[in-house]
Chains A and B, each alone.
Chain A
Amino acid sequence: AQSVTQLGSHVSVSEGALVLLRCNYSSSVPPYLFWYVQYPNQGLQLLLKYTSAATLVKGINGFEAEFKKSETSFHLTKPSAHMSDAAEYFCAVSEGNNDMRFGAGTRLTVKP
């Protein structure tokens, strides 16, 4: 079955610095990959998704992620962090069988 590993349960960056949240996946077939964001006391919202159309995926709020098959990775980046980006981020993988697996999450803190 598919699985996803998020490296780093907590990431802290300064405002204006690069954000890099790491995600590696395991899948026996070409996967569908997602990044979701969870703000405090809210449900998850989709940031972006990869469905094989293009390896570099652009999402909302200036985030993007690059699918690298050779590295089985789907890291999330943003060139310049804003205070409003502080949240928990979840990577998820699906093999097309209605079984979406989520990672454990990475909490992003943005320092002024």
Chain B
Amino acid sequence: EAQVTQNPRYLITVTGKKLTVTCSQNMNHEYMSWYRQDPGLGLRQIYYSMNVEVTDKGDVPEGYKVSRKEKRNFPLILESPSPNQTSLYFCASSGGPATNEKLFFGSGTQLSVL
């Protein structure tokens, strides 16, 4: 089954404790992206990747890091989480540029930073 898998589904942590949210897709997609969803703001792009070793900033990259060492994986790293990073995070992938290709989304990671 074609899917984007995010882990964990829920995460509670404390300020400053490094964490990683994993994202993996099994569709051999080149394009992958991370979004955060906040009430009243919709989805905002954090980082995206056009292919292996190619990443770029989205609208809200501050406080986040990503890596794309292999095609299927695109982890999101918070080196020193802060309470304003409490949010619902989604990973997405598509077979081509996000221009006109359908995005496949993971089920989301609800992060709470205390």
| A28-46 to B contact mask, C-beta < 8 Å, 1/0 | 0000100010000111111
* Complex contacts, A32 vs chain B, CB 8 Å: 99-100
On whether A49 and B102 interact (CB within 8 A), knowing A104-B40, A104-B42, the answer reads yes
B12 in the interface, Cβ–Cβ < 8 Å? no
Interface size of B by CB at 8 A reads: 25
Interface centre among A42, A44, A90, A105 (most CB of B within 10 A): A44
Which residues of A does B touch, CB under 8 Å?
Answer: 6, 9, 32, 36, 41-46, 49, 51, 90, 94, 96-100, 102-105
Does A98 contact B98, Cβ atoms closer than 8 Å? yes
9 A-B residue pairs with CB within 8 Å = A44-B90, A44-B103, A49-B102, A51-B100, A97-B99, A99-B98, A100-B45, A100-B98, A102-B42
